[in-house]
Each structure stands twice: as C-alpha cells, then as structure tokens.
C-alpha cells in the first residue's frame, strides 16, 4: 500500500495563510471550497497517477480531508488501509489534545473524544472491482465536527462533540491536516516495515476495553476478532463501511 505517487510533495497556497498546507514529500495537496466534498473530489480524480493527492475542503463546521492511495494487494485485504487512516487520524488529534483525554474508536470507522462522537472515516474503491482484484485506487476520507455553533443548544446533541468545544479552538484545521498526513506516512511505514499486525495493534489500542480483556486481532479481510468471557466476538468490516454509523445520510456530515 502506498500513499505516494511518482512525484514529490509541494506546498499549496491559496488566498490566505489558513489555506496553506505544508505536506510531506509523499503528498500533493488540493485545497477546495464548499460545496465540494473531499471524498467525492478525491474519487473523481482517483487513479494510479493521482496517488498521494490529499484533498482538503475548507469548511467552518467540519474538518473534511481525503487522500488517494495506491493499493498493491487485492481489494479484500487492501481495505485494511482504513486502519492506517484511522490510526493516523487519532495520532493527529492526540498530538494536540490534553494527554488525559483518550481518543477512542467505535468499530471500525467512528472516532470518539471525551466519550462523545466527533466524526469518522470512510473508504472508497472503484465500482465493480472484484474482491480478488487489485484496485486501481483507494480513497481514505475523514470528517470531524469542527464546530456546533449552528446546532442549537448543546444539550440537544449530547452524543457528539466538536473540536471547538473540546479545546482545539486555537488549533487550525491546516495544522491538523498536516499532522494527519505525517502520521499517515508513519502508519504505512509501520505496515511495510513491521507487518500489518503491528499496525493493527496500534489501531486496536484505541478500541474501548472488552469484557475479560481478551486477545484482539484483525484478520487479512479486515474483520476484527475479540476474545470475551463468553467467546470470540467477530466484528465485520465491509458491512460497516457501507453503513457508516457515524455519518448522517441527510447532511453527509457526522451525526450530531
């Protein structure tokens, strides 16, 4: 699995300092504007030649970012790229968060902070690609609630949190996007150098403790296995990627 294409990274400039991204050499950045969506934009341009393209859509209410990946294994196992992206996302948030507040996952694609849902991730691949075929591309996308100012009384949305209300008001979106890119590079390096199990362990460390504290494992297909006091719990990957429990289908944004 590769994030990079055959080109070096570049610094992206727009009409303000806040739209400036400094990315690692593996990435080329695209800064877009609403009403575009980072996932849709990345899927439109995706292909082997676009590998390493990172799309950031500037919005005030959500942090919206996506990256085009170049898989080198069949789709059935390549979907494990989701775990690299989720780990990178958690590391980026954790680097700017108070150390006593954990960044946790709800399997497989929802991210929580301070015991509340703050966003999630999704994965895209070419339509019609068979499970045993190597897809031409994958797109990992993440969306986090940046602000809930327009959501009304916070008591009406107690299950969700925003970056703004959780102490990230002084952290720019560009800084989080840059941190995500750097940590995504590290995640793929762990996968390449130490094997997928090493990456999986980093992802699994962000899941809430299970009953009995049994062994946890992610299979080659991306399904999770957790040993509990009552037996082995299987956590399927593919159905969850389709359902996206964190995403509101009416708005296309994280559920409030």
pLDDT at 210: 67
126: left (phi over 0), alpha (psi -120 to 50) or beta: beta
Alpha-helical (H) ranges within the chain are 38-45, 75-78, 81-96, 173-194, 196-204, 238-243
Of 1 and 187, the one with more pLDDT: 187
Domain boundaries, the chain: 17-208
**pLDDT at 16 (0 to 100):** 42
User: Does 15 have pLDDT greater than 70?
Assistant: no
124-133 LR contacts (CB < 8 Å, sep 24+): 124/39, 124/42, 124/43, 124/46, 125/75, 125/78, 125/79, 126/46, 129/75, 130/75, 131/74, 131/75, 131/76, 132/74, 132/75, 132/76, 133/74, 133/75
Q: What percent of the chain has pLDDT over 70?
A: 90
Region 227-250: mean pLDDT is 92
CATH of domain 17-208: 3.30.930.10
Among 18-32, 90-104, 125-139, where is mean pLDDT lowest?
18-32
Task: Please name the residues in contact with 99: beta carbons below 8 A apart, sequence gap of 6 or more.
Answer: none
What would the pLDDT profile of 200-224 be if each residue is shown by its tens digit?
999 999 998 865 567 899 999 999 9
What's the pLDDT score for residue 227?
85
When pLDDT is averaged across residues 229-247 and rounded to a whole number, the result is 92
How large is the average pLDDT for residues 66-84? 97
The fraction of the chain above a pLDDT of 90, given in percent, is: 71
Beta bridge partners of 112: 104, 117
pLDDT at 11 over 50: no
User: Which residues, 6+ apart, have CB-to-CB distance to 33 below 8 Å?
Assistant: 57, 58
Per-residue confidence band for 143, with pLDDT thresholds at 50, 70 and 90: very high
pLDDT at 14 over 70: no
């Amino acid at each position: 699995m590769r994030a990079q294409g055959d080109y070096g990274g570049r610094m992206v400039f727009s009409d303000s300092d806040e739209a400036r991204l400094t990315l690692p050499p593996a990435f080329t950045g695209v800064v877009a504007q609403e009403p575009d969506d980072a996932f849709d934009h990345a899927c439109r341009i995706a292909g082997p030649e676009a590998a390493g393209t990172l799309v950031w859509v500037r919005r005030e209410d959500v942090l919206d970012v996506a990256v085009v990946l170049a898989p080198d294994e069949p789709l059935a196992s390549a979907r494990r790229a989701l775990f690299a992206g989720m780990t990178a996302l958690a590391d980026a948030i954790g680097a700017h968060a108070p150390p006593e507040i954990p960044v946790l996952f709800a399997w497989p694609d929802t991210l929580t902070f301070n015991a509340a849902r703050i966003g999630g991730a999704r994965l895209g691949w070419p339509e019609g690609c068979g499970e045993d075929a190597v897809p031409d591309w994958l797109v990992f996308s993440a969306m986090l609630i940046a602000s809930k100012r327009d959501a009304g009384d916070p008591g009406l949305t107690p299950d969700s949190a925003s970056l703004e209300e959780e102490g990230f008001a002084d952290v720019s979106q560009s800084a989080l996007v840059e941190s995500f890119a750097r940590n995504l590079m590290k995640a793929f390096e762990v996968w390449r150098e130490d094997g997928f199990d090493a990456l999986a362990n980093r992802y699994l460390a962000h899941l809430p403790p299970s009953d009995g504290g049994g062994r946890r494992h992610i299979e080659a297909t991306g399904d999770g296995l957790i040993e509990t006091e009552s037996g082995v719990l299987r956590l399927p990957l593919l159905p969850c990627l389709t359902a996206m429990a964190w995403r509101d289908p009416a708005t296309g944004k994280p559920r409030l």
